[in-house]
Amino acid sequence: MLRFIGRILQWLRGGALKLLAIAGAILLIWGIVSPVGTLVWWFQQGSELLGLKQNRSKYSQPRSRSLRAPNSTSIPKSKEINCYIVFLPGVGDFSADELTPGETAFLNNLVQTHPNCVAVGDVFPYSVANKSLGGQRAMAPVWRFANEAKSSLPIADVLIKIRNLWRFAISADPRYGTIYNQGIASAIIDRMNAKHPIPQDSSQPIKIILIGTSGGAEVSLNAVPYLKQQLNANVTVLSIGGVFNGKNGFDASDHVYHFRGRRDLIEDIGGIVFPSRWLWNVASPFTQARMAGRYTSTISGPHAHDGPEGYFGEAPVAGNGITYVDLTLQQVNQLPIWSEQKPQKTQQ
């Protein structure tokens, strides 16, 4: 036995293998303790903040705190606001206000093109309390150091992604997801109301467009049933290179659109590892939505998953004369979700 352990220690002398072993140990530890924060939040906040009491009057006035995306501008509105575009970023983000320049330009262009909409870009889908990693109390110094060192220390970026991946897993987990996703829905409504007071006319549903990229797509889908419980709204989910399990949100969403780039290898993971996404699983909500015409998948172009040539990248597309984010914007603007009319439940 001792000889076997000695061989393992000798095997771990390589620098890369050490990092792999450390990352694996951290992954295991986080997998054990990750749900604790969600449960603590549940006990601290109680059912009222989770929206279990469907009292819309608490959303009648915006709160004073309002996060803005970097370089965002105030867009004059020529129409009554009845549409909210809510952006949920990928697992590499440190906080809700860490949108890339491409993501910021994407949202600003959407609200310029659709003046009846406002963009909500300050929801952090990897915290049930909508706190950045820098606001996580005991671990805050560690996460701030990791965020500052991302460019020079690749393992720091990996640690942030591993941490957020566990929140992704909690959101998809049937044991803890109910609590977590109600909390995310509550945070979405709070930030919607802070951006623009939610209309109180219950006879006319508002339009909510949840745009999720990478792991943000899964959290978006999981929040849909709770948004529908608390608000009179038509909810559309737009997955841009999203990874999702195909179980939650498909029955409650008016429509789910999924964009996938030809060079995006990460997006493929969802369709491979989640049985509910397999085409022969005819009973899954994903397959039922696809067969009913409430799920549409589209090749967005030569996009990678992220970076300068990702969906929100600002590099030029070869032979096209536009940037990668402009290509994404063109695709999104062509969707039939921007009509002033109520979206149809099914599309053929």
What predicted TM-score, i.e. pTM, was given to this entire model?
0.77
For the chain, what are the domain ranges? 2-333
Instruction: Tell me what pLDDT residue 348 has.
Output: 31
Instruction: Tell me what pLDDT residue 235 has.
Output: 97
Does 2-333 carry CATH code 3.10.20?
no
Cα atoms found within 13 Å of the Cα of residue 186, Cβ hemisphere only = 24
Residue range 166-201, pLDDT digits in tens: 778 888 888 777 888 998 999 999 999 999 999 877
The chain-wide mean pLDDT, for the chain, equals 77
Cα atoms found within 13 Å of the Cα of residue 146, Cβ hemisphere only = 21
Q: d(Cα 287, Cα 227) in Å, to the nearest integer?
A: 22
DSSP class of residue 240?
E
Q: Report the chain's terminal Cα–Cα distance, integer Å.
A: 64
Handedness of CA 209, 211, 216, 218 (dihedral sign): positive
Instruction: Tell me what pLDDT residue 312 has.
Output: 96
Using pLDDT thresholds of 50, 70 and 90, give the confidence band for residue 202: low
Q: d(Cα 212, Cα 89) in Å, to the nearest integer?
A: 6
Instruction: Tell me what pLDDT residue 80 has.
Output: 84
Residue range 38-75, pLDDT digits in tens: 444 445 555 444 444 444 444 444 333 333 444 444 44
